[in-house]
Chain A
Amino acid sequence: MDRMGRRAFLARTASIAAAVAAAGAVEKALAAVDAGFFNEATTGYFESHFGITDDLCRRVLGRALSRGGDFADLFFEHSMQTLLLLEDGNVNRADITVALGVGIRTVRGSQVGYSHTDELTERALLQAAQTAAEIAAGQSRKPAARLVRPPVGDYYPLGQLLSNVPLGDRAALIKSVNDRCFALSPLVRKVSVELNDELRRILIVTSDGVRAEDAQPYNCIYAAVVAEKNGRLERGSSNRGGRMDASFYSPQLAEEMAREAVEDTLTRFDAVPGPAGEMPVVLGPGAPGLLLHEAIGHGLEADTNWCGASVFSQMVGKKVAEPFVRIVDDATIPRQNGSINVDDDGTPGKCTVLVENGILTGYMHDRVSAKNYSVESTGNGRRESFRHVVMPRMRNTIMYGGEARPEDVIASVKRGIYVAGVGNGSVNTAEGSFSFYVLRGNLIENGKLTALIKDVNIIGNALRVLRDIAMVANDMRLAPSAGRCIKGDQSIPIGVGLPTVLVKSLTVGGVKS
């Protein structure tokens, strides 16, 4: 099959695999034919389906280095996303998006030239490479004569892709969430459910001889419930996902999702106004790890430090927390949101220690920042798509558990708040100011959890919050939800994990002084 024909075939099979899946017999027939987008192989995809050979890559890289530069790379991507939406009891909308293209980068020192194209013809690739090369102005260089595939992990085996589950079965799953929500409470007025499924195939080829491929599934289910009680409306939700396979989306999950969404909604009717002012804050395990992501993680991404735009810019090797604090950014946790076999620079995914024994040990690097700092890349180079330039980004940011029991952490607080569910976060890395939004929590009064609170923003300072971590419990938990992080104009999946943690003092933005 020639390149054009093969690519058209793929575009067809990518859609048809889902489209005819409900038809049963037809699905089987196609499954036998289709050895393409949705199969298990993670290597050789772009060569066999689009004719992206090593020789072609070297020619394009040669063009990208035709005006000099330190190195160049190519980032090929073919992705398909299917979003099914339920409202008012019906799965009455689907949004399906296919993206195919390549981004080409030329790097000279800390200068980057970048161009991308939707066309995978040699002519289009060379033209984009020429544009990227404009950043340099010197003698041309040749790319490596041989391309080598680096050894990479397999943190999300493609065995049973959600994408291969018949559309009708996926619709039935989200309908069961809807039905359970209504069955759980007569107060429920509206339910919306979304099931998002994405498969992203990437190929990175670098001028210094790396050819790395990956196939990254990403999927999530989100349920939102609106309930009405005595004329008041409240909305709650539940969210699960990651780089899961089809077995994750079980009837048990549907039940769990429905229960959590309904409970999250109904408990809000009992919430009291949140307190205002500075006080101790206990972060519950799991999702409140957003604090790590905002307060510490972004400030440790090397690009912000290189230009002096982080409070951590001069802090490597210094004490930033108590000795029992250990924080890592880990790409290797099976099926977590932020796990990656290989980063978007072609560096294998790994675990990077950020804080050890309370000492800041280093930053998160992509290739460019690693070169600036004369260190190895930590495999944190990530990007939203081939239309975006790679930059240092977090993967799964986690604080290890300590020795305290969670109940002892809560008991140590006379007056403060407990954070159970969180939402929006943001940070000003230069000043260190960060905030995150408490969707759900409790007051702590005399060492006990009391009234529920909701819709309270928390604001603090990165250096101070690290210093103020006073207790760490032994119940580290990964957030079960499918979180995403936006930096600049790029959104990527990330994960967080946290044990129960006491922060001595944060500013709580309630209304009750």
Chain B
Amino acid sequence: MSKADRATTGHAASAHVRVEEGPGGGQSSKLHESMRDLAAWIVLQSTKAGADQCCVWLKRSRSVETTQNSLKEAVVHSVCVDLYVAGRYASHSTSDLRRDSLRQFLSDAVAITRLLDKDPLRTLPDLRCCSGMARDDLRVLDSEYQSLTSRTRLEALNTTEHACLERGRRRSLAFSGRSSDGVTSRMVMASSGFEAWHESTLFTYTSDFIVMDDDGARRTGSFMGKATHRAKLPTPARAGEMAADAALARLGAKRCKTETLPVMIRNSRAGEMLRWLAQPMTGINVQKKDSWLADRRGQRIASDKLTIIDDPLLRGGIESRPFDFDAMACRRRTMVEDGVLRDFYLGWYYARKLGMEPTTRTATNLIVPPGTRTPQQILEDLGRCLVVTDLVGGNSNATTGDFSVGVAGILYEKGEPVQAVMEMNIAGSNQQLWTRLVEVANDPWTYSSERTPSLLFDAVVVSGA
């Protein structure tokens, strides 16, 4: 980028720049520089075309997806430009990065933006919201990424399959596995002078296993995990054993009678329920009155067992990042504290619409602090209890808080598994459900962005036969 370009775009001199070295060290720095040059050029062209403000998001990702039957490898580039033109706003994306095409694309994008209605609240965030970006190493880059080969990826899947078949023995019917790994580089630059850079790796590993029940029915089990570092995932053999154990635990599954029971949601699925709370906590839902939590900030919405921390700065977190989707600096926040709703997810625009202070637009790494007892210890103190191992479809209504969702799992009596169940349903209202949270176990799930332990709820309607 020439000095002239920099002067024209008015960039502050690297005041908020953060560079994380990629796995390739120098290679990553070169990529950073080239993306920075492109971003600056786009800011310049957008300004020349008539944009009053703009924010450029560049992404480059390289990924490899492997199954036992397929190998998919790709490099993806994309540009997204948020344009603010004469009090109007639009977001434009393209995958064509050639400068000639981009120049015209930006000129047209500005013209389109002019045709929209004015909205004075649509602006770039104040720089004060962008300052203070974390400079700690978030540890989201795995240098092992570059050492993977097609052969090692396939060997891992074969090992997983072998472990499944060993565990399933004569009941084994079918296995399918999938692994993907990739590195993503993101560059953000705004006409206000803000710029930042972030790189992360992501590994996902899935194993699905099917076994045959005594009555000929198929029972399934799976493991699905994500991590920023390969070593944080279970070994391939362990991933297979977990899928096989899950499938074997469903042998003899049937529908049981409809009744009201204590229900424990296992750690691997409890994160989905946190999303039932996170959605109505977003600014867009609150502003549109599409939220049962809209008027509840500062009030109790759950039992005192529930605390939810949103931590975008968690070391090694899947959703860890120094800046958010408004290019505001990320911070750790306690969203729910001892059952009291403390904060909303407020991006720059909806915060202004609501007349509130901005926080951040969406949930990142959600953490529920673990309790002290294992799930087994908790179950031993109970009589009859449904342990939910799988949530099937369903929905949680963000406006009213009503929910109804299919479940599969295992019925326990005094800590002993007595019957696998399937094709059943739990229903109620979030307002009631979360006040009936009676215990949080000590087993946080570490293979997703929701680090949630198993959660025990009292008196849930479970419908079945």
Pair from one complex: yes
Interface residues of A (CB under 8 A from B): 4-5, 7-8, 11-12, 15-16, 18-20, 22, 87, 90-101, 110-118, 131, 134-135, 167-168, 171, 189-190, 192, 224, 226, 228, 232-235, 274, 276-278, 294, 307-309, 311, 387, 389, 423-426, 428, 430-437, 454-457, 459-461, 507-511, 513
Residues of chain B contacted by A307 (CB below 8 angstroms): 174, 176
- The answer on a CB contact under 8 Å between B101 and A7 is yes
- The answer on a CB contact under 8 Å between A11 and B117 is no
Q: Which of B36-44, B108-116, B312-320 is near enough to bind chain A? A: B108-116
Residues of chain B contacted by A92 (CB below 8 angstroms): 88-89, 116-119, 122
- The answer on a CB contact under 8 Å between A457 and B405 is yes
- Which of B92, B290, B406 is packed against the most chain A CB atoms within 10 Å? B406
Distance A269 CA – B447 CA, assembled complex (angstroms) = 41
A433-B95 CB under 8 A given contacts A233-B292, A233-B400, A389-B70:
no
**Total A-B pairs, Cβ < 8 A:** 265
8 more A-B contacts (CB under 8 A) besides A118-B95, A456-B427, A459-B406?
A: A12-B105, A15-B112, A19-B112, A93-B91, A98-B96, A387-B76, A457-B395, A507-B464
- The answer on a CB contact under 8 Å between B392 and A459 is yes
Q: Which of A101, A232, A430, A459 contacts B218 (CB 8 A)?
A: A430
Closest partner residue, chain A, to B461 (CB atom): A511
Distance A92 CA – B85 CA, assembled complex (angstroms) = 12
| 7 pairs of A and B residues whose beta carbons are closest in the complex | A509-B425, A15-B108, A435-B393, A276-B463, A426-B393, A457-B404, A90-B117
Q: How far is the CB of B3 from chain A (nearest CB, A)?
A: 28
List 28 A-B residue pairs with CB atoms under 8 Å apart, sorted by A's residue number.
A7-B96, A15-B105, A15-B112, A18-B112, A19-B108, A19-B111, A19-B112, A90-B119, A93-B90, A101-B95, A114-B70, A115-B72, A189-B289, A226-B288, A278-B258, A431-B217, A434-B393, A435-B393, A437-B395, A456-B427, A457-B427, A459-B423, A507-B255, A507-B423, A509-B394, A510-B463, A511-B428, A513-B259
Distance A99 CA – B96 CA, assembled complex (angstroms) = 8
- The answer on a CB contact under 8 Å between A112 and B426 is no
Asked if B1 lies at the interface with its beta carbon under 8 angstroms from chain A, I say no
Closest partner residue, chain A, to B394 (CB atom): A457
- The answer on a CB contact under 8 Å between B100 and A4 is yes
Residues of chain B contacted by A192 (CB below 8 angstroms): 288
Distance A95 CA – B112 CA, assembled complex (angstroms) = 10
Q: How far is the CB of A479 from chain B (nearest CB, A)?
A: 18
Of the four ranges (under 10, 10 to 19, 20 to 34, 35 or more), the interface on chain B belongs to 35 or more
Q: What does the 1/0 interface line of B157-176 toward A look like (CB < 8 Å)?
A: 00000000000000001101
Q: Which of B79-103 contact A (CB under 8 A)?
A: 88-98, 100-101
Residues of chain A contacted by B290 (CB below 8 angstroms): 190, 224, 226, 233, 235
Closest partner residue, chain A, to B218 (CB atom): A430
Q: How far is the CB of B208 from chain A (nearest CB, A)?
A: 7
Distance A110 CA – B69 CA, assembled complex (angstroms) = 6
Q: Which of A93, A116, A189, A433 contacts B392 (CB 8 A)?
A: A433
Distance A510 CA – B208 CA, assembled complex (angstroms) = 30
Q: How far is the CB of A81 from chain B (nearest CB, A)?
A: 9
Closest partner residue, chain B, to A436 (CB atom): B393
Asked if B431 lies at the interface with its beta carbon under 8 angstroms from chain A, I say no
- The answer on a CB contact under 8 Å between A235 and B394 is no
Q: How far is the CB of B214 from chain A (nearest CB, A)?
A: 15
Q: How far is the CB of A20 from chain B (nearest CB, A)?
A: 7
Distance A455 CA – B464 CA, assembled complex (angstroms) = 17
- The answer on a CB contact under 8 Å between A234 and B210 is no
Distance A423 CA – B76 CA, assembled complex (angstroms) = 33
- The answer on a CB contact under 8 Å between A509 and B427 is yes
